[in-house]
Amino acid sequence: MIQGDPRGLVLGYKTAKMSLIPSFFGNQRSSVCDPSFSLDVWDPFQSFPFNVASLPLTPFRGWNSETSAFANARVDWKETPEAHVFKADLPGVNKEEVKVEVEEGRILQISGQRRKEKEEKTDTWHRMERSGGSFVRRFRLPENAQVDQVKASMENGVLTVTVPKEEVKKPEVKAIEISG
């Protein structure tokens, strides 16, 4: 039995607290000051310790799983000396269902769709946890990105997008002879 408590939710003998504001300082390695920072889809119950949909009178109970589960495709972005590398986990998505585009203003957009499994009238579903739906992730690329050289590949449900960096031109240093 779940009882309301002004400090959080009482779950048996444990108290769970929740914030209605997304944490910008969680396990993500980005900053709100970073021009590439984005909040595409925020799921306030993503790491909640139990299924919120089973609770009575929760404000987000009616959310469709497409809104939270698949819509926010997880993407890692690392910078190497040669390139910016993006890796997106897209399990169950074929490469034909994914688009990688670079828009004006140096915006890298990764989008796609996972189709729901067709339901047959003769099938009896015992559990349906995998979601279908569309996703879009957008990242502002830095000035050193060669947007005309972007390459993408997909293997085992992981999309890898590589954006080469322009070579940093080292300033030419000229030694001046001192007379006298």
Q: What letter would DSSP give residue 67?
A: I
Residue 52 lies in a domain: yes
Residue 70 lies in a domain: yes
Which one, of 112, 158, 163, 154, lies nearest residue 137 by Cα? 112
Residue 137 lies in a domain: yes
Distance in angstroms (rounded) separating the CA atoms of residues 41 and 116: 20
| Residues of the domain holding 154 | 36-117+130-164
Residue 13 lies in a domain: no
Question: Which CATH number characterizes residue 157's domain?
Answer: 2.60.40.790
Contact 68, 57 (CB under 8 A): no
DSSP string, 35-76: TT---S---TTTT-SS-GGGSTT-TTTT--HIIIIITS--EE
Number of residues that this document lists for the chain: 180
Whether the model clears a pTM of 0.75, i.e. scores above it, the answer is no
Tens place of pLDDT per residue across the chain (180 aa):
444 545 444 444 444 444 444 444 444 455 545 545 554 444 555 555 555 555 555 554 444 444 444 556 899 999 999 999 999 999 889 999 999 999 988 999 999 988 877 778 888 888 877 777 889 999 999 999 999 999 999 999 999 999 999 987 888 899 999 998
